Amino acid sequence: MKALERNRAVELRRQGKTYGEIIKEIAVSKGSLSYWLKDVALSGEQLARIQYKNDKIKNKFIEFNELTRLKSESNKKIIFACTKQEIDRISSRELRLIGIALYWAEGHKAHARSADFVNSDPAMIKLMMRWFREICGVKERQFRIRLQIHNVETQEEAKRYWSEITNVPLSQFTRAYTRISPTSKRKSGNLAPYGICSIRISDINLITKIKGWIGGFMALSSSLV
């Protein structure tokens, strides 16, 4: 039986059939075909036909992948647009909870005398400035902004950018920090164009209050386990 299948495979191969076409006619593994047909000599015309068929299959595969990618991208855009509409406003209570959660994740908790929040995302910085102002009751004169930048030459541009984002005057910006860590140097192409913004409020009562809120969050999360 195997001899008949092998002879038939050789015959089909000499007709310029691809492995895929041969497997459709003979129930055999691709590994067996490779072994049976390794010494089969083919003419230029046969090789050309096989190459054409293989390229055609390859192109169909590429086309299928591209259609799948486009469908996935379209689906993601629909999901994004629909879910974006679900967040149409933020209540005062929601702002309080969001700010506490973000500070818990990104804020400095070790400081005993000041609240410090650091990030490079302007949208997050805007949200936290709103939280400090509306929920924490921070006075405008209390804000201090310090930047970590990656290019000394862009320092003034970065200050103007973050001044607009935070709505804090340049007079309340402290000296920028320009040192770049070795890790950042290795991925310089991904560095934030305007650096990293640090919001500082020197207020013992405020940082104590924030730590208390975070403690409440931690107690709630423990009870959910």
| Residue pLDDT, tens place only, 7-60 | 777 777 777 777 777 777 777 777 777 777 766 766 677 777 777 777 877 888
Helix or strand holding residue 108 (H, E)? strand 107-108
Does position 127 have pLDDT exceeding 80, yes or no? Answer: yes
Do the Cβ atoms of 167 and 199 come closer than 8 Å?
Answer: no
| pLDDT at position 225 | 58
The domains found in the chain, sorted by start residue, are 2-83 (no CATH), 92-224 (3.30.1330)
pTM: 0.68
| pLDDT at position 189 | 52
| Residue pLDDT, tens place only, 74-103 | 999 899 888 988 888 889 999 999 999 999
| Residue pLDDT, tens place only, 100-116 | 999 999 999 888 899 99
What is the pLDDT averaged over residues 158-169?
Answer: 96
| pLDDT at position 138 | 97
